[in-house]
Amino acid sequence: MPGEATNIHATAIVIGKTGLLFLGPSGSGKSILAFSCLAAARPLGLDAMLVADDRVLMAKRNGSIIAECPPSIAGLMEIRYTGIVRMPYVSKAEMHFAIRPIDPATAERLPPDDERIDVTDSIRLPLIRLSATSANPLAIIAAKIGTKLD
């Protein structure tokens, strides 16, 4: 059924009007990369909001890819080894890019250009691979997408 949501393991954030969906297995660095992006955006004067951490409801609606937060985890983000923190959030937002944390020790140095990833059976997003240990992930994402995040 069109518009029906699929629950996936991911973290979704919005920087300005750009939706970023962090994908990968548990412990890969999704939440800390998303948190770092949120923290870097605020001093730049950019709106920065969590949509959902750990579980994200994904749907295609009116040509847009929408991420939505299950109500039970609204505004909550787990920072591994630190605990659960409360974050400013929106309950749903359009997603534009998927981010996959990678391990630099095992990743290919130059991934394919214009890479895309299947998020669900019917949802596909442009993919950006990003080292899980990036010092400034938001700057790298902005450089990769070639546009100002606002």
**Which value, in Å, is the radius of gyration of the alpha carbons in the chain?**
14
In the chain, pLDDT over 90 holds for what percent of residues? Answer: 81
Residue 1 has pLDDT above 50, yes or no: no
DSSP letters for 90-143: -SEEE--EEEEEE-TTTS-SSPPTT-EEESSSS-EEEEEEEETT-S-HHHHHHH
Which tops the pLDDT comparison, 58 or 148? 58
Which tops the pLDDT comparison, 37 or 109? 37
pTM > 0.75: yes
- In terms of Cα–Cα distance, which of 111, 86, 87 is closest to 99? 111
pLDDT at 133: 87
Q: Are 21 and 53 in contact (CB under 8 A)?
A: no
DSSP conformational letter for 2: T
Nearest-angstrom CA–CA distance, 102 and 129: 6
**Residue 52, token pair as written in the block:** 């959902």
Nearest-angstrom CA–CA distance, 105 and 20: 24
pLDDT digits (tens, 9 = 90+) for 67-91: 999 999 999 999 988 999 999 999 9
Residue 3 has pLDDT above 70, yes or no: no
Average pLDDT of the segment spanning 14-30:
95
pLDDT at 2: 54
Nearest-angstrom CA–CA distance, 31 and 80: 8
Residue 10 has pLDDT above 60, yes or no: yes
pLDDT at 147: 73
Average pLDDT of the segment spanning 96-114:
89
Q: Which fold, 6-145? A: Rossmann fold (3.40.50)
DSSP conformational letter for 71: G
Residue 150 has pLDDT above 90, yes or no: no
Strand ranges across the sheet with 6-15: 92-94, 64-68, 48-61, 6-15, 18-23, 97-102, 124-131, 116-118
Average pLDDT of the segment spanning 140-144:
93
